[in-house]
Amino acid sequence: MEELYATVRGRVQGVGFRYFVVQKALAIGLRGYTRNESNGDVEVVAQGPRPALEQLLMLLRQGPSEADVQKVQTAWREPTEHFSGFHIRW
């Protein structure tokens, strides 16, 4: 079990990005959350096996069709909190 922390930059708010993340993360069996940041970025914290996390990372770089992802900053770390499901945080 690993944790992926990602900050997604670009046109990622107001385009359904968080809902896209939740749908994709749940489909590949990950746990965690996503939320909008006040500076226009989207934060993603996902936990699961490394191959599934790498799959999510690939999807984050694409985003939904309305998004324009400019950059995804990532950090790999040990899980510090245990999540159930994958949710949008406000």
Catalytic residues: 18, 36
Q: Can you say whether residue 40 is alpha, beta or left, with left for phi > 0 and alpha for psi between -120 and 50 degrees?
A: left
SS3 content of the chain, % helix, strand, coil (to 5): 25, 40, 35
What is the spatial distance between Cα 26 and Cα 72, in angstroms, rounded to a whole number? 20
